Amino acid sequence: MRLLLVEDETRMAEALSELLGMEQYDVDVRNDGISGLEAAQCGDYDVLILDVMLPGLSGFEIAGSIRRLGIKTPVLMLTAKSDVDDKVKGLDSGADDYLTKPFEVKELLARLRALTRRNVNAPGSAFVFGDISLIPGTFELHCTSSGQSVHLSKREFRILEIFMANQNQILTREQLALQIWGYENEAEYNNVEVYLSFTRKKLAFIGSHVEIKALRGRGYELRESHV
Ligand code: CA
């Protein structure tokens, strides 16, 4: 698993790189935005970890640039403060997740596992349910009955992937949160419903017969309606 870490605080970068190395990650470090962007464009990485405040180019600018180039490598943004604007800006620029400094290493590792799990589990194979299919690596949701496709966010993709891997099973909000974020966090439970609602809208948008059914007091299930 290859990681690029772009962080200008050299002691922090070294410490992180060493810790990640012990977890069997192969880490390249860059200490400024310009060389960080160059490495992100040229290297074959599984995840990019970008600090926001960097000399040269910010983490937002790096993420925005590589997304415009069509590079879909997952991005974990490191923000200095728990500023909501920063998070929104980060996600808008193409980041898949963010972590507020200071953070615990085990939290960083959990986020990295969540971001890379997709590649580990099903390299290149499509998940199919009813009239929809997901192609890992593309974030595209395709509907065979309407012939339409839509781009999914990382989390919408992950939600459908979890449901498709657990077909005909009812999943609780807690199970979904644990699988989406890779760790237990009470605050994320409510976010599950927000992402479920985004995902439902995408399913409706492409005219799929598949729906995420809420079963009161029990959880959620992926179902095919035959209306
Ligand atoms: Ca910095």
pLDDT, tens digit, 9 for 90 and up, residues 142-171: 998 899 999 998 889 989 988 988 888 899
* Confidence at residue 155, expressed as pLDDT on a 0 to 100 scale: 87
Beta-strand ranges (E) seen in 162-218 are 210-215
Cα 6 to middle of ligand 1, angstroms: 9
How far apart CA 100 and CA 177 sit, in angstroms, is 19
Cα 142 to middle of ligand 1, angstroms: 39
Position 121 confidence tier, pLDDT thresholds 50, 70, 90: very low
Cα 61 to middle of ligand 1, angstroms: 14
In terms of C-beta density within 10 A (0-12 exposed, 13-18 middle, 19 or more buried), how is residue 184 classed? Answer: exposed
Cα 18 to middle of ligand 1, angstroms: 18
pTM to 2 decimal places: 0.54
Cα 103 to middle of ligand 1, angstroms: 14
Cα 183 to middle of ligand 1, angstroms: 26
Cα 107 to middle of ligand 1, angstroms: 19
Cα 131 to middle of ligand 1, angstroms: 46
- How far CA 155 is from CA of 8, 97, 114, 115, 148, in Å, comes to 29, 9, 10, 10, 20
**Residue 161 three-state SS:** helix
Query: To the nearest whole number, what is the mean pLDDT of the chain?
Result: 85
Instruction: Give the type of residue at 219.
Output: G
* Confidence at residue 55, expressed as pLDDT on a 0 to 100 scale: 96
Cα 19 to middle of ligand 1, angstroms: 19
Beta-strand ranges (E) seen in the chain are 2-6, 26-30, 47-51, 75-79, 97-100, 127-129, 132-135, 140-143, 149-151, 210-215, 219-224
More confident residue, 225 or 122: 225
Position 105 confidence tier, pLDDT thresholds 50, 70, 90: confident
Cα 32 to middle of ligand 1, angstroms: 9
Cα 23 to middle of ligand 1, angstroms: 24
* pLDDT of 69 higher than 80: yes
